[in-house]
Structure 1
Amino acid sequence: MGGEKELRIVMFPWLAFGHFIPYLHLSNKLAEKGHKITLLLPNKARLQLESLNLHPSLITFHSITVPPLETLPYGTETTADISLDQHGELSISMDRTRPEVESFLSTHKPDLVLYDMAHWVPEIAAKVGIKSVSYNVVCAIAVSHVRPSLPLPKGTAAHVPLPLSSVPKWSLNQHGSSTPYFGEGITLLERSVISLSSADAIAIRTCREIEGVYCDRVAATFNKPVLVTSHALPDLELELSPLETRWAEWLARFEPGSVIFCCLGSQHVLDAPQLQELALGLEMTGLPFLMAVKPPVGCTSLEEVLPEGFNDRVSGRGVVHGGWVQQQQIMAHPSLGCFVTLCGSSSMWEGLVSESQLVLLPQLADQTLYAKLMADELKVGVKVEREENGWMTKRSLCEAIKSVMDEDSDISHVVRKNHAKYRSMLISPGFISGYIDNFIKDLQALVP
């Protein structure tokens, strides 16, 4: 520590595992340097995440009660309990934790509080006399698209349009016009603007070597210091559990660099026709594949929606799995050759540090921005071409996969070269640690 102040930090992420886990990864990196962290988590999430806490003497999980809503299923605590179109209602429950969060901060008086979607945290922090940091696990390119039309005073919720001219209309369904509010009387965009503009500083899980221009844009837009943490992914060998035997044994049957891994995350659900196109596209490649997807809404299993005769045709080389898988560990297996991803922020970083070729299949607005960054700017992957209405065909998926898997193709040559360059940088010794050291210095500079 070199005599620097030991920080006491409280973290309150949005009620989703896609936010809990990056917050915990950052907590582990900070605790490694001797700082104390308290994560405010719903009880079920706390139990599920305990095995990922590498420093239990320094990282404490504090349970918070998520108030029930009549419109949500009984026992709902996180986005894992509900469908995507119910996230706006869950944000009402999160906002109703405010008295409990305020009581905790008032009692414990940490040095800093990190949050993302709870836009009211800075108001509490100012009252208690602590510093607030808006920590965004989404990438800087997405944060840079949140632009207030006018400067917002603290606590003001004015209507703020989000300019997404580069994003096709079919992808604007994350919390689109059918769900205009993300909470009681507030839109997702208003919530985002207030969260960013009210903080003492903005932090982003990214690297300046990749998103420096977007970090600078955020700093200029909100006139705030922008702190950067790196991707902060855990070390595969030191911090993650080994790959499950069933997957290790299955992958070991195939040649190095030959297997396609298609994983669409735990939240997004394809409809039945698109899931069938996905399955048929993977089949058309002729390569071995593992397809991890959730069943469509209304279906109890994947088997009832897969194309007729599909399982027989791909027997021995194709597996379709409807449950959770160890994505980072699977992608590190030598047999992996291609990663087909929706391009969420965590998958983006995990794809970049892997040796697999990247095929990008974005569905939502932020994923489309990440895919643009990966394919058009960094040139490390290939986007699947879509019809004008957003439809993905089996042929377009197959062509995208083959374009990166064929080592002799011009496209493959370009993306492999660029991917190798960025991967080498991101996994280089001391890369994450250097970012975390600077991040800690920036946090310490905020604290009186």
Structure 2
Amino acid sequence: MSQPPKTSSSSFHIAMFPWFAIGHITPYIHLANELASRGHRITLLVPNKARLQLQHLVLHADLIVFSPVAVPHVHGLPEGTEIASEIPIHMTHLLATAMDRTRGEIEQFLTVSKLDFVLYDTAQWVPGIARRNGIKTVCYNVVCAAALAIALVPARNVPKDRPITEEELREAPAGYPSKNVVLCGAEAKALTFISLPYGEGITFYERTTTAMKECDVLSIRTCRELEGDLCDYMEAQYKKPVILTGPVLGLGSDKKSEKLEERWEKWFSGFEAGSVVFCAFGTQWILEKEQFQELVLGFELTGLPFFVALKPPSGCATIEEALPNGFEERVKGRGVVFGGWVQQTAILSHKSVGCFVNHCGFGSMWESLMTDNQIVLVPHLGDQILNTKLLVKELKVAVEVEREENGWLSKDSLRKAIKSVMDKDSEVGVMVKKNHAKWVETLSSPGFMSGYIDRFVQKLKEIVN
């Protein structure tokens, strides 16, 4: 690893060590760009595969450098695994073990580098190393405050020898301010993963709460307008400052929109404004073939033009071999199902797109809120379920696709949810569009985004002075 020199007294040198997942590393890079635009130097400690995939997002190459982390092989992981999108979700705990085994490499970097701060999220052992080297630590969480407040407060005693019960998850923590996000049934069951192993000899709950207990400052990628009460709750629970960065989308007013790939620009431009349904479920969710087919048939049933970006389902090497019989012929000219990477933000900003069907990962949640598109949500696990509750129950800016009791998503339920927001005479569609417009106005108002970053930097200065 390289060791950049310490910056001048008026600026910081900050190291960032996010969880080895594209959905976590990307917002760290966006934050790095904002900090670098204010003169601060950033070293991103990430696997090399993540660097190769995301280095194009860096806007200030003179102040932001990558220091690739060598990810060791862990038995049970495919050879060469470095980031979460390369493996199914059930193997993620092994990747956590691999991250922990980079500790020696990270410790060497933190020891020889002249740093002011290190930002991290899931590596709960970072604060101990940083303290020995006089470095302040910021536990920067890129999930919603609701997810942290409901499941990851120190007062919640999650036993090691059994999963959390549904009753335990249904109860809002003492002092928790919002009752609309309380879970039940299958939703509560989906969150029991927090009591499962996440690395060697440690659960997800223990790892995450320790990471937040041991830092100097807690930080969350959210805004007070959206989750102010929850952030106050976190501050009271952890008895330390909670500073917010705002959404940090890398979409500041001074940055031009990413240009969409020519073939897709031509395709989208063939439809009326606001008519296309766009669907994307993130980098990790791999559907079973039957569920995949059911969903694409649901898009067909809407009668609307659609562009679906999903990974090939389990057991299929390509999207084409997974499609239902006759599907391609029936939707030719109005529907695309694509198995590769797409420019999500560029697609969402295209004038022909009118609806975004997504899994409500925190990045997609913010991107949903920042566009004029109608929002249809299909959460899969963990914080996605809580993000969905926030948008559907609290803000009333989206609708959720109803699942059957066994968790199955039917083509009719998907069609119904999409039509409920896309039909012009739908009361639900009018209501969520009106509420959404208010949030777009707030989030895009002059100085809103930059103000959060300015206050974040000011808080960092107060901590070191």
TM-score (norm 2): 0.91
> 1:406 maps to what in 2?
423
Whole-angstrom CA distance in 2 between matches of 1:365 and 1:57: 37
Matched, 1:206 2:250: no
Matched, 1:117 2:156: no
Whole-angstrom CA distance in 1 between matches of 2:298 and 2:286: 17
Matched, 1:181 2:197: yes
**Are the equivalent residues in 1 in contact too, given 2:224–2:231 (CA < 8 A)?**
yes
Superposition pairs for residues 55-94 of structure 1, below 5 Å? 55-94=60-99
**Match 2:43 to one of 38, 43, 48:** 38
Per the alignment, do residues 150 and 343 of structure 1 end up closer, same or farther by CA in structure 2, a change over 3 Å counting?
closer
Aligned length: 441
Structure 1 residue 174: Cα displacement: 7.0
> 1:216 maps to what in 2?
232
**Paired letter, 1:261:** F
Whole-angstrom CA distance in 2 between matches of 1:252 and 1:44: 33
**Are the equivalent residues in 2 in contact too, given 1:84–1:174 (CA < 8 A)?**
no
Per the alignment, do residues 18 and 239 of structure 1 end up closer, same or farther by CA in structure 2, a change over 3 Å counting?
farther
CA offsets per residue over residues 333-386 of structure 1, 9 Å max, x none?
000010001100000000000111000111112111000000110000001111
**Match 1:371 to one of 384, 388, 404:** 388
Moved more, 48-57 or 131-140: 48-57
Whole-angstrom CA distance in 2 between matches of 1:90 and 1:168: 30
**Paired letter, 2:285:** H
> 1:344 maps to what in 2?
361
Matched, 1:354 2:354: no
**Match 2:154 to one of 145, 148, 158:** 148
Matched, 1:95 2:100: yes
Where 1:210 maps in the other structure, the secondary structure is helix
> 1:431 maps to what in 2?
448
**Are the equivalent residues in 2 in contact too, given 1:234–1:240 (CA < 8 A)?**
no
**Paired letter, 2:269:** A
Unmatched 5+ stretches in structure 2? 1-7, 171-181
Whole-angstrom CA distance in 2 between matches of 1:160 and 1:174: 10
Matched, 1:126 2:126: no
Where 1:9 maps in the other structure, the secondary structure is strand
Whole-angstrom CA distance in 1 between matches of 2:256 and 2:68: 24
CA offsets per residue over residues 273-309 of structure 1, 9 Å max, x none?
2111111111111000001111112111122222211
Whole-angstrom CA distance in 1 between matches of 2:192 and 2:55: 31
TM-score (norm 1): 0.94
Per the alignment, do residues 234 and 144 of structure 1 end up closer, same or farther by CA in structure 2, a change over 3 Å counting?
same
Structure 1 residue 241: Cα displacement: 3.1
Whole-angstrom CA distance in 1 between matches of 2:385 and 2:332: 33
Unmatched 5+ stretches in structure 1? none
CA offsets per residue over residues 76-101 of structure 1, 9 Å max, x none?
11112211111100111100111111
Structure 1 residue 210: Cα displacement: 0.7
Matched, 1:5 2:10: yes
**Are the equivalent residues in 1 in contact too, given 2:277–2:357 (CA < 8 A)?**
yes
Structure 1 residue 410: Cα displacement: 1.3
CA offsets per residue over residues 204-246 of structure 1, 9 Å max, x none?
1011101111111111111111110010111277265311011
Q: CA RMSD for the aligned pairs? A: 2.1
**Paired letter, 2:123:** A
**Paired letter, 1:149:** A
Where 1:63 maps in the other structure, the secondary structure is coil
Structure 1 residue 150: Cα displacement: 6.8
**Paired letter, 2:208:** S
Where 1:414 maps in the other structure, the secondary structure is helix
**Are the equivalent residues in 1 in contact too, given 2:47–2:69 (CA < 8 A)?**
yes
Whole-angstrom CA distance in 2 between matches of 1:50 and 1:20: 11
Whole-angstrom CA distance in 2 between matches of 1:282 and 1:151: 43
> 1:248 maps to what in 2?
265
**Match 1:417 to one of 434, 453, 458:** 434
> 2:178 maps to what in 1?
none
**Match 1:280 to one of 282, 297, 302:** 297
**Are the equivalent residues in 2 in contact too, given 1:54–1:239 (CA < 8 A)?**
no
> 1:47 maps to what in 2?
52
Where 1:176 maps in the other structure, the secondary structure is helix
**Are the equivalent residues in 2 in contact too, given 1:159–1:190 (CA < 8 A)?**
no
Whole-angstrom CA distance in 2 between matches of 1:227 and 1:319: 42
Structure 1 residue 151: Cα displacement: 9.5
Whole-angstrom CA distance in 1 between matches of 2:40 and 2:232: 28
